[in-house]
Amino acid sequence: MPTPILQTDTGPLMHKAVEEATRLLKAGEVVALPTETVYGLAADALNPEAVAKVFEAKERPSFDPLIVHLPNKKALDQVAEVPADIQPVVQKIIEQMWPGPLTIVLPKKPCVPDIVTAGLPSVAVRVSKNAVFRRVAEALGRPIAAPSANRFGSISPTSAGAVAAELDDRIPLIVDGGACLCGIESTIIKIEPGSPKPIITILRPGPITPDDLKVYGKVKHASRTVVDEATEAPGQLASHYAPRTPLRLLSKPEDFIPEPGKRYALMSYRGDVEDGYTGLTEWVHVQILSPGKGKLPEAAVRFFYVLRELDGLGVDEIIAEPMFEHGMGIAMMDKLRRAAVKH
């Protein structure tokens, strides 16, 4: 049976969708819900049997931890401890950044099942600003584990249709909240005491950029994972976010030598001929992330949608242009590198 999709674009439809999603979550089921980043596959985070269904539906390895979404800021102390030496900076960050696309890794409380944290002593937590997700979280009144609603390692979904393409008939409900506003997964950080400023390590780049965080402490990036093994936060595995079609990130145009008989598609940053990529070959199709303007936020919103469209063309290889590696470009370049590792 195809998975039912409930709309939320009117008051009565929203009420019905929230009510049904909450009912299923309370019954220990999983539900696909929109967030401001990507669609998540939600389960009651304190119910290990429900969380196990997330791993089963996604075919996700048990060593990859999940993010726990809280119904509100005050719920942080239900699932995490905030060490005294970083408490002031954590408080400042959540006051300014929550709800929003920022996840913080903190020591977990015993109530959080090991299956959620992959046996780690820490838990990744955030508060979503998406209206649909927040209504469900508040109605449930419990923390929600919600990794991206797709098969493990594949392209993250930013629409209800993309969720259905990945998980149709594997889950009991998809709630359609429209397209995601950010388009890429939340930034994940950990915070450590430091002098004169706290040290903020970005474990996974995302919509909240280093420039956004530098007012709170000294910002650094975690080294990239080069093997698929246990990690301290989601989205750090070497191979991730990958289409089924082989993808190659092309550092510069002159590196591309097309092979006779192969069919290529191009993921272009801004579609500008002067960048040197659009004229390299007879592309089967060119998808542009930010036509003409090269705006990173626009590119981020379109990123997974464009990747999914190119993956459906049946070409032999997807070629991806690089983009400016600052701001949200850091996250997109990180995802392209991980997508390319698979092949």
- Say which residues have a Cβ less than 8 Å from residue 213's Cβ, sequence separation at least 6: 93, 189, 200, 202, 219
Number of neighbours of residue 116 by Cβ within 10 angstroms: 25
Q: Which two tokens stand for residue 124?
A: 């990744």
Binding site as annotated, residues: 37, 60, 69, 126, 146, 148, 156, 186, 204, 241
Burial of 141 (0-12, 13-18, 19+ CB in 10 A): exposed
Task: Give phi and psi for 211, each to the nearest 5.
Answer: -65, -35
Residue pair 87/104 in contact (Cβ under 8 Å)? The answer is no
Binding site as annotated, residues for L-threonine: 37, 69, 126, 146, 186
Q: Which two tokens stand for residue 114?
A: 């090991």
Does residue 254 sit in helix, strand or coil?
A: helix
Distance CA 245, CA 310 (A): 8
Distance CA 48, CA 337 (A): 33
Residue pair 25/43 in contact (Cβ under 8 Å)? The answer is yes
Quickly list DSSP for 95-145: HHH-SSSEEEEEEBPTTS-HHHHTT-SEEEEE----HHHHHHHHHHTS-EE
Degrees to nearest 5, angle at CA 264 with 262 and 270: 160
Binding site as annotated, residues for ATP: 60, 148, 156, 204, 241
